[in-house]
Structure 1
Amino acid sequence: MRFSRFLILALLALLALTLASCGSSKFETYNGPAVTHVVVQKGSRKLYLLHDQRVLRAYDIGLGFAPTGHKRVEGDGKTPEGTYIIDRRNPNSRFHLSIGVSYPNVFDRALAEELGKSPGGDIFIHGRPKQYQNGLRDWTWGCIAVTDEEIEEIYAMVRDGTPITINP
Structure 2
Amino acid sequence: MVRRNLSLLIICLITMWATFAYGGATVDLVRVEKSLRKMQLLSGSTVVKEYKIALGARPVGHKRWEGDERTPEGRYILDWRNPKSMAHKSIHISYPNAQDKAAAKSMGVSPGGAIMIHGAVNGYGWWGWVLQLIDWTDGCIAVTNPEMDEIWTLVQDGTPIEIYP
Question: TM-score, length-normalised on structure 2?
Answer: 0.85
2:79 partner SS: strand
Q: Which 4+ residue blocks in structure 1 deviate beyond 4 angstroms? A: 20-24
Q: Contact 1:83–1:166 (CA<8 Å) still a contact in 2?
A: yes
Q: For residue 127 of structure 1, what is the aligned residue in structure 2?
A: 119
Secondary structure of the 2:35 match is coil
Cα distance in 2 for residues equivalent to 1:154 and 1:22? 17
* Matched-pair contact (CA < 8 Å) for 1:71–1:78: yes
Work out which of the two has the higher radius of gyration on C-alpha atoms and give 1 or 2. Answer: 1
> 1:23, 1:36 → 2: CA distance?
26
Match of 2:94 in 1: 102
Structure 2: which 5+ runs fail to align? Answer: none
The SS at the match of 1:86 is strand
Greater mean alpha carbon deviation, residues 47-56 or residues 22-31: 22-31
Q: What is the CA-CA distance between 1:25 and the residue it aligns to?
A: 3.4
Structure number having the greater helix percentage: 2
The count of aligned residue pairs is: 150
Q: CA deviation at 1:94?
A: 1.1
1:38 corresponds to: 30
**Which residue number corresponds to residue 58 of structure 2?**
66
Aligned residue runs from structure 1 range 11-50, under 5 A: 25=10, 28-29=14-15, 30-31=18-19, 32-50=24-42
Q: Distance in 1 between matches of 2:68 and 2:7?
A: 43
1:154 to 151, 154, 164: 151
Offset at 1:43?
0.2
> Is residue 86–residue 99 contact of structure 1 (8 Å, CA) maintained in 2?
yes
What one-letter code is carried by the residue in structure 1 that aligns with 2:44? D
1:97, distance to aligned residue in structure 2 (A): 0.5
> Letter of the aligned partner of 2:149 in structure 1?
E
Tell me by how many angstroms 1:152 deviates. 0.2
Kept in 2, the 8 Å contact 1:72–1:111? The answer is yes
| Alpha-carbon shift at residue 24 of structure 1 (Å) | 6.7
1:47–1:58: 8 Å Cα contact kept in structure 2?
yes
- Per-residue CA deviations over 1:142-166 (Å, capped at 9, x if unaligned) read 0000000000000010001100000
Find 2:108's aligned residue among 107, 112, 116.
Answer: 116
CA distance in structure 2 between the partners assigned to 1:117 and 1:26 by the alignment: 41
Q: Report SS of the residue matched to 1:56.
A: strand
**Cα drift, residue 137 of structure 1:** 1.9
Distance between the aligned counterparts of 2:105 and 2:35, measured in 1? 27
